[in-house]
Amino acid sequence: MLPRFWRKIKYRYNLLATKCENCGTYYYPPRNLCPTCRRKSKIVETKLSGRGEVLSYSIVHDVPESLKEQKPYVVAMIKLEEGPVITTQLVCDPKEVRRGMKVRAIFRRCGEEGEAGIIYYCTKFIPD
Amino acid sequence: MRKVAVIGVGQSKFGELWDYSFREIVLSAGIEAIEDAGLEGREIEALYVGNMSGGRFLAQEHIAALIADYSGLAELHIPCTRVEGADASGGLALRQAYLAVASGLHNIVIAAGAEKVTDVGDRAVEILASGVDREWEVFSGATLASLFAMMARLHMDLYGTRAEDLAMVSVKNHRNAVKNPKAQFRKEISIDVALNSPYVAEPLRMFDCAPISDGAAAVILASEEVARKYTDTPVFISASTQATDYIALGSRKDFTTMDAVVFAANEAYRKAKIEPKNIDVAEVHDSFTIAEIMAYEDLGFAEKGKGAELIREGITELEGDLPVNPSGGLKACGHAAGATGIRQAVEIVLQLRGDAGERQVDAERGLALNIGGTGATAVVTIFSR
């Protein structure tokens, strides 16, 4: 799993997106091909503001082994200001989360490969 | 394209089949289908098998050859192919077999679906989540249940669907499974038990989630002309369609609609020259209870946002106007990943032939909906007497 993770570190850590300059659509996760413009795609990399709002959410109780210390945690679909919808963890009190809530991106530890293994970091969100 | 009929069906029991290996489970379903069709076995010209993750559940790839070996088909050297589309693998295998017969390439083909998941214990949940976007959904903390939970949350907020409606789907499917000897959970549950079960991913509770099961199923397809030689009660496939959507939920237009289901269903109705109201019985992919409510809408049985009314009014109960999941569905019959799409076809064929025993409904036309992951793949099959 390791190369699969660090290959995209640039995008994960910095919330770096891509944008199709032909139609103006932003993509996060980044795409190298615009599904709308196809061969007319003109893809460039661009930084996102990191601000958005919660479209939907769930408080996860049955959690994967690697996240058991965080149980229960909040996962949310967040619509970013620039348009893309990102699915990621929202760091807040589960009682606090609601649809339409304004949130912003932060850099956080995401998990680890066992106790002696490498630590993963990623972008999560917090209430803004 | 030629008319295609189902001339034989078979299914293993679904559940935690600790005493049986993968190959034994597949063989039992295949033999039942061959016997049901009245074949000797040598008449079979090709095999398609749906299997989601032999590699991760069993560390075994080359599943089609393995099945050919153990079932004696290797001796005939016929083409055997595995088809994969997460938990829509079975539906895809059925469609490949359908295309092989409809095109005139083969006259008699077996379509199977099989999965053995219990050997990996708790890791099965994580493996099933490989049907969604691993890098950008699962890595970020989403589980399969939490993605369906977010669809449910939105459906509840936008359309007034209630936790009770979801629980009623589970109660109905458990009640139906009591009458299905092949089902995993043959026990009625009360709505209170469902509503008080622990949360998996809010608002979904344990009784909103299908189990992950061992199981296999098989159907034998034949051209109309060949079918008439073997049976007086062929069930025809009047449409077999498939559609695709973005694999990650966040990339889709509307999280409360599965566009792949809408597209596949509309195309199926057009090909079969019928409307949703002409369907008498359906097996839908209730991997989570919200998915059954959404299926009512996406298949055109209810208007958008009004799916819950069907369960509230009893329309989809066994005695209702449109019974859905008479087998017990994925929730109570069990969800053996790649086997599920074929298992649904077995149920619809039994219903249309009048061989469904205690859970028999009155039906001339039936529909099966099999989806992969959160709906990136959808397969719709319409059957008629």
Whether B359 contacts B273, CB under 8 Å: no
Looking at residue B269, its pLDDT comes to 98
> What value of ipTM does the predicted structure carry?
0.95
Of A61, A88, A122, Cβ closest to residue B201: A61
pLDDT tens digit sequence for A3-30: 777 788 888 888 999 999 999 999 999 9
| Chain B residues touching A58 at Cβ < 8 A | 145-146, 149-150, 153, 201-204
CB contact under 8 A, B141 and A58: no
CB contact under 8 A, B202 and A99: no
Looking at residue B272, its pLDDT comes to 98
Q: Which CATH class is domain B4-122+213-235?
A: alpha beta
Q: Does A25 touch chain B (CB under 8 A)?
A: no
Nearest to residue B48, comparing CAs of B99, B108, B110? B110
C-beta atoms surrounding B140 within 10 Å: 20
Q: Does B273 touch chain A (CB under 8 A)?
A: no
CB contact under 8 A, A57 and B136: no
Stretch(es) of chain B classified as CATH 3.40.47.10:
4-122+213-235, 131-209+238-384
How does residue A1 score in pLDDT terms, banded at 50, 70 and 90?
Answer: low
Looking at residue A112, its pLDDT comes to 74
- Specify the DSSP element, H or E, that contains B346: helix B340-353
Q: Does B211 touch chain A (CB under 8 A)?
A: no
Looking at residue A119, its pLDDT comes to 82
Whether A48 contacts A68, CB under 8 Å: no
- Distance between terminal CA atoms of chain B? 19
Q: Between the CA of residue B102 and those of B3, B123, B246, what are the distances in Å?
A: 6, 39, 29
Looking at residue A122, its pLDDT comes to 85
Whether B16 contacts B213, CB under 8 Å: yes
Nearest to residue A15, comparing CAs of A78, A92, A94, A68? A78
Looking at residue B311, its pLDDT comes to 98
CB contact under 8 A, A55 and B255: yes
As a dihedral over the C-alpha atoms of residue B276, residue B277, residue B279, residue B283, rounded to 10 degrees, the angle is 60
Q: How far apart are CA B104 and CA B132, in angstroms?
A: 35
Looking at residue A25, its pLDDT comes to 97
Query: pLDDT at residue A113 above 80?
Result: no
Looking at residue B92, its pLDDT comes to 98
Which residue type occupies A95? K
CB contact under 8 A, B200 and A61: yes
Looking at residue A67, its pLDDT comes to 87
Q: How far apart are CA B209 and CA B167, in angstroms?
A: 10
pTM above 0.90, yes or no: yes
Looking at residue A118, its pLDDT comes to 80
Q: Return the CATH architecture of domain B131-209+238-384.
A: 3-Layer(aba) Sandwich (3.40)
Instruction: List per-residue pLDDT tens for chain B, 385 residues long.
Output: 999 999 999 999 999 999 999 999 999 999 999 999 999 999 999 999 999 999 999 999 999 999 999 999 999 999 999 999 999 999 999 999 999 999 999 999 999 999 999 999 889 999 999 999 998 999 899 999 999 999 999 999 999 999 999 999 999 999 999 999 999 999 999 999 999 999 999 999 999 999 999 999 999 999 999 999 999 989 999 999 999 999 999 999 999 999 999 999 999 999 999 999 999 999 999 999 999 999 999 999 999 999 999 999 999 999 999 999 999 999 999 999 999 999 999 999 999 999 999 999 999 999 999 999 999 999 999 999 9
Looking at residue B114, its pLDDT comes to 98
Looking at residue A2, its pLDDT comes to 67
Q: How far apart are CA B240 and CA A36, in angstroms?
A: 28
Looking at residue B86, its pLDDT comes to 98
Of B122, B140, B203, Cβ closest to residue A87: B140
Looking at residue B284, its pLDDT comes to 98
CB contact under 8 A, A58 and B153: yes
Q: Does B31 touch chain A (CB under 8 A)?
A: no
Looking at residue A116, its pLDDT comes to 79
CB contact under 8 A, B248 and A29: yes
Q: Does A29 touch chain B (CB under 8 A)?
A: yes
Nearest to residue B58, comparing CAs of B24, B14, B12? B24
Choose, out of A7, A56, A103, the residue to mutate when testing the contact with B (most B CBs < 10 Å). A56
Looking at residue A108, its pLDDT comes to 87
Looking at residue B365, its pLDDT comes to 98
Looking at residue A110, its pLDDT comes to 79
